[in-house]
Amino acid sequence: MPATTQSQAEDLANQLNGVAAQFVALQQQLTVLNTRWTAINAQSVLDAMPTVTQNADGSQGTADVDNSTPPVPIHVSGHPINAVSYPGFQRATSSYNYGAMLTIAQQFLNLVNGEAVATQASAPTILAEMTGG
């Protein structure tokens, strides 16, 4: 039986119901994440982790170190966190990107909580960097 305009509208409405359920689940997940992030001051922890240079192909380069002897690993803003030192990361990126992603998540929470939402012009770039897309 060919799809009618009504059956197509019904299908789209059902898809919106599914999206609404995903929004609720994401709202709950982000609320917990935001609370835990704040409780342990995660941004400060990430900002203190040693970083590495990033090669042109996206792979990690040499560790960022100071000029002491022996060299001591340091954090360079904008460089990815050293995934060799911290293999628990699913994807190595900079602490800046994690903070920016949290801001995007907080704006989503504002939206679903009926609060004012600030424009996040960098969202497409941050999402691409966070996902490798």
Task: Map out the domains of the chain as residue ranges.
Answer: 28-131
The pLDDT profile of the chain, 133 residues, written as one tens digit per residue, is: 678 999 999 999 999 999 999 999 999 999 999 999 999 999 999 999 999 999 998 889 999 999 999 999 999 999 999 999 999 998 889 999 999 999 999 999 999 999 999 999 999 999 999 998 8
pTM of the full structure = 0.88
Q: Are the CB atoms for 40 and 73 separated by under 8 Å?
A: no
CA distance 18 to 27: 14
